[in-house]
Amino acid sequence: MVGGLALPHTQPFIPPPPPPPSRNPASHVSEDGPREQLSCLPPLHQVKTMEEFKKLHARFIKLGLDRVPRHAGDLLLACSLSEWGSMDYARSIFLGLDDPGTFDFNTMIRGSVVHGDPQGALLFYPEMLRRDLEPDNFTFPFLLKACSQLSALAQGLQIHGHAAKRGFQCDVFVQNSLINMYGKCGEVERACRAFEQMGACRTVASWSALAAAHSRMGLWGKCLELFAGMTRDGRGADESSMVSALSASKNLGAYDLGRSIHGALLRSFTGLNIVVQTSLVDMYIGCGCLEKGMAIFEMMSEKNAWTYSVVISGLAMHGEGERALQVFSDMLHAGQQEPDEAIYVGVLSACSHAGLLDEGLRCFDRMRLEHRVPPSPHHYGCMIDLMARAGKLKEAYELMENTPAAQTEAAWRCLLSACKTHRGDLELAERAGRNLKELNAHNSGDYINLSNMYAEAKRWGDAARTRREMVDRGLVQAPGYSRVEVKGKMHTFVSHDKWHPQRREVYEMAYQIEWQLRFEGYTPSEDEEERRRRMQGGGAESQKLAIAFALLNTRQGSRIRIITNLRMGKDCHTYTALVSRVFEREIMVRDRNRFHCFRQGVCTCGDHW
Ligand SMILES: [Zn+2]
């Protein structure tokens, strides 16, 4: 360890073995020699393959040019940073150098990072310090990049200290790399501090790195604020900040904003790369515009694992199970993309949302046996959900019993709520409840489900005991909210909203809607859970307020898009379906689990959610 730098998984620095390629001992290098001899060799930048490079390297050795630091440095650079390059070969050249300097170390650090070996990159640094070489403003950015790839905060902090000690506080590249590193390590505050310290030196990359840091932590509002700040600051946003802003738009359901970013992208860049295109697909599908997202997806000439995972999971959210499976099978057919863990989460959840039990079981086997993707708790969660929704409660329970990895909080909760939905097995529900308690998972919804089941079985004593336990533990449901976008601005409603400036009109409208719906046969649900949701400020009320607000403030016939953080209740589902018919509006609601698109009184989920 040098300079107190603790490295992860410390491998000792590999001592230089004897120089690998055979050197010609007779070759003598004079001061003028290299230049003359070099002129008869093809230039390095014309090399296109490793084979060509090896041949050229052999000629360098023959002429003794590889002993000249400048040429050796060029060889190293070409071999480690070219597309055709090889880090193993570059390492052998490096180890053969008599006296590698800062430039050579920088090349190796950078090459390792570029070739996906951040661990290896970090190992060069202590050796560099041991040799009394001064790191420069090319060393730190790549070391910090290695730390961000590893999410190695401790190492990042030490490298930050080293950079500060050497006076790189004002170096734009070092500071931008710091913002990036802190962002990737989830240290938003430190990222902000590094950003603030830059003052007037900030570049587009600094703004963009900070926006990405917020987006990674799900601080969507702040991310959009930064995006706006960046434009106010007179800087054109770059692709990377637009990607962060698209992701924020998707998560907030800010469709108009997302669409305007799409417009800006088309105006500012010719040809969008795969990351930007996938972000666009994700934004459109996430904001409920499935067909727009699919149109971009179909036009993409290149697609990667992320693209497929976005589309398959997106189709799953929209309840389009068959279509998701079709995209998956097209992907396998094209043979360009091996299915990975994330893609299979999408596939299994598509089966689950569409109630495709047999297909789901087949996919699960295929995942493990054919594609050798080890099932994660997430995959098991999808399988439990799939079985439980299909009413196969016993099978779901058996799968959980036999698989420790499947016994997660989410899976037990899913089983418990399926027991309630299928009016099934109280004993199984009790077992799920006990397991949740053992996992120390205390959620008001679980207690309510169990207590309702006791009540249905007329076990009033147990029902009361469960409720009391919930109250004793001080459990309350997360406050529900609904968001709706009107004229490019997001409006958030909570139940019994007392803050919205237009609340008077909104309440009046909600009251009128309810009366109108009553003529259509609507009666507010008397289900106990629904009543509690209303009383505790659940999603139901907030969603009704958001609908009233949208009806007041948008033009007749236009589509309404709502995002809510809770799972939609039955009452609210019926209510929204009726509004869509009576007021002739298409209403799209993204709840915690999936999309509901109401048209003419019918929801795309087919009342199955
Ligand atoms: Zn629905």
**Per-position DSSP letters for 462-510, written without gaps between them:** HHHHHHHHHHHTT--PPPPEEEEEETTEEEEEETT----TTHHHHHHHH
Angle between helices 204-216 and 220-232 (to 10 degrees): 170
Give Cα 69 to chain centroid, integer Å: 44
- The Å distance, Cα 598 to ligand 1 centre, comes to 7
- Compute the distance from residue 29 Cα to the ligand 1 centre, in Å: 79
Q: Which residue has the tokens 């109280």?
A: 426
User: Is there a single domain that holds both residue 553 and residue 592?
Assistant: yes
CA of 608 to the centre of ligand 1 (A): 7
Tokens describing residue 290:
């499935």
Centre a 10 Å sphere on the Cβ of residue 541 and count the other Cβ atoms it contains: 22
Instruction: Clarify whether residues 424 and 559 are in a common domain.
Output: no
- Report CA(607)–ligand 1 centroid distance (Å): 5
Q: For residue 320, is it within any domain?
A: yes
Supply the range of the domain harboring residue 497. Answer: 481-603
Three-state secondary-structure class, residue 602: strand
Q: Provide the domain count of the chain.
A: 2
- Whether residues 450 and 363 share a domain: the answer is yes
Structure tokens at 45: 């930048």
In a domain, 571, yes or no: yes
Do 408 and 369 reside in the same domain of the chain? yes
Of 446, 472, 498, which closes a domain? 472
pLDDT at 322: 93
Say how many Å lie between the CA of residue 23 and the centre of ligand 1: 74
CA–centroid distance, 568 to ligand 1, in Å, is 8
Q: Which of 416, 448, 472 is the last residue of a domain?
A: 472
How many angstroms does the Cα of residue 33 sit away from the middle of ligand 1?
Answer: 79
Residue 456 lies in a domain: yes
Structure tokens at 576: 């929204």
CA 590 – ligand 1 centroid, Å: 9
465 plus 355 within the same structural domain: yes
Q: Do 322 and 450 have their domain in common?
A: yes
CA–CA distance, 345 with 353 (Å, rounded to integer): 12
Could you read off the pLDDT of 520-548 as tens digits, one per residue? 888 876 555 555 555 444 444 889 999 99
State whether 444 and 490 are in the same domain. Answer: no
The CA angle 15-21-27, to the nearest 5 degrees, is: 115
Boundary of a domain, candidates 472, 507, 532: 472
In a domain, 418, yes or no: yes
485 and 467 in a single domain? The answer is: no
**188-198 vs 172-184: helix crossing angle, rounded to 10:** 160
Local structure of 597: helix, strand or coil: strand
Rg (alpha carbons) of the chain, rounded to whole number: 30
Ligand 1 mean position, distance from CA 333 (Å): 33
If you measure from the C-alpha of residue 588 to the centroid of ligand 1, how many angstroms do you get, rounded to a whole number? 9
User: The domain that contains 444 carries what CATH number?
Assistant: 1.25.40.10
Q: Please tell me the distance between residue 353's alpha carbon and the centre of ligand 1 in angstroms.
A: 11
> How many angstroms separate the alpha carbon of residue 252 from the centre of ligand 1?
20
Coil, strand or helix at 587: strand
Mark whether 496 and 585 lie in a shared domain: yes
- Residue bearing tokens 């041949």: 55
Is the Cβ–Cβ distance between 581 and 606 less than 8 Å? no
| Strands 489-494 vs 481-486: parallel, antiparallel or unpaired | antiparallel
Using 50 as the pLDDT threshold, list the residues of the chain that sit under it.
1-33, 535-540
Distance 566 CA to ligand 1 centre (A): 13
In order, the DSSP letters of 74-124 are HHHHHHHHSTT--HHHHHHHHHT-SS--HHHHHHHHHHHHHTT-HHHHHHH
Looking at the fold, whether 461 and 487 belong to one and the same domain comes out as no
Detail the DSSP E strand segments found in 496-601.
Answer: 560-564, 587-590, 595-599
For residue 604, report the distance from its CA to the centre of ligand 1, in Å. Answer: 6
The reply to whether 409 and 487 lie within a common domain is: no
Same domain, 414 and 319: yes
- Looking at residue 533, its pLDDT comes to 52
With CA atoms as reference, report the closest residue to 520 among 568, 579, 560, 606. Answer: 579
Q: How far is the CA of 563 from the centre of ligand 1 (A)?
A: 13
Three-point CA angle 447, 452, 457, nearest 5°: 130
Q: Who surrounds ion ligand 1 at CB < 5 A?
A: 596, 603, 605
Q: What global pTM score does this model have?
A: 0.76
Distance (angstroms) between ligand 1 centre and the Cα of 367 equals 30
Distance 585 CA to ligand 1 centre (A): 15
Measured distance CA(351)–CA(382) in Å, rounded = 9
| pLDDT in the model for residue 477 | 65
